[in-house]
Amino acid sequence: MSLAGPAIPVSAFQVLAFEEIDSTNAEARRRAEVGEPGPLWITAARQTAGRGRRGRSWETGAGNLAATLLITLDKSPSDASLSAFVTALAVSDLAIDYVPEALVKLKWPNDVMIDGRKVSGVLIESGKAADGRLWLAIGVGVNLRTPPVESERPATALFGHLNPALTEPPTPAQALVRLSLHFQHWLAVWDGQGTAAVLAAWTARAEGLGGPCTARLDQETLEGVAEGLDPDGALRLRLQDGSLRRITAGDVFFPH
């Protein structure tokens, strides 16, 4: 059984820190299902069963950040899917705090890339709260000090790209403070200015839009040109035969 320290404030959010746990997302789900509304950050130095998108495992190396934000929103599941873009913006702001901004790009829907390599992973899960609203468990893993030993795609860590004035990456606790502040900013933009403002900010940081793209879906692989985003965040892919496909789930790849 894992022991948690006391909840401590990070700006408007609370933090529940574990030394070891199966998964911060799993803990967020357990708490949401017994009525915890958040906002609450759950973080762990080690995860024994960390998970990424599409059932992949997620490795949290020493000195890296593993955390889940539990929040409850008065939004439909389709509207809440835009939290992927909010998350990408918050994580990219965290990266820009420590590495040159020109190196930081976003890849649909929520990958943060530094110099063309993945530096973070996001897993968002949801469920219906007792009051009818929607709870979200927004899991974030950021490679602060070391990239994963085994990685399906090229990966990196903040430590390899620091601004010249810095000699060390942030500790997980320091990174969580910055990430929390950036989340609050982008959640406020989403709430106050709407989805269009979030997608416009995401598009301004995106890589690959307007160029060739490969989309790997569950049952097929598509090739075409990534034209941009629909108002709901779907990726518009113009296929080689001229037809248009909306990509709402899958892995996308852009040539470098």
State whether 118 and 232 are in the same domain.
no
In a domain, 2, yes or no: no
Strands 251-253 and 212-216: antiparallel
- Per the CB < 8 A criterion, the answer to whether 213 and 239 are in contact is no
Query: Of 208, 38, 201, which is closest to residue 133 (Cα–Cα)?
Result: 38
Q: How far apart are CA 134 and CA 73, in angstroms?
A: 5
CB 147 within 8 A of CB 84: no
Structural domains counted in the chain: 2
Same domain, yes or no: 36 and 163: yes
Neighbours of 163 (CB within 10 A): 12
User: CATH no. for residue 140?
Assistant: 3.30.930.10
Q: Are residues 160 and 216 in the same domain?
A: no
Residue type, 118: K
Owning domain of residue 190: 8-205
Query: Quick one: 142 and 24 in the same domain?
Result: yes
Please tell me the predicted confidence (pLDDT) of residue 49.
Answer: 83
For 18-54, letters b (16+ CB in 10 Å) and e give beebbbbbbbbbebbeeebbbbbbbbbbebeebbbbe
Q: For residue 164, what are the contacts with CB-CB under 8 A and spacing of at least 6?
A: none
pLDDT at position 142, please?
Answer: 97
* AA letter at 41: W
Residue given tokens 């990534």 in the structure block:
226
Please state the pTM of the whole predicted model.
0.92
pLDDT tens digits in sequence order for the chain, 256 residues long: 344 444 444 556 899 999 999 999 999 999 999 999 999 999 999 998 876 554 555 666 789 999 999 999 999 998 999 999 999 999 999 999 999 999 999 999 999 999 999 999 999 999 999 899 999 999 999 999 999 876 677 899 999 999 999 999 999 999 999 999 999 999 999 999 999 999 999 999 999 999 999 999 989 999 999 999 999 999 999 999 999 999 999 999 998 6
For residue 3, tell me if it sits in a domain. no
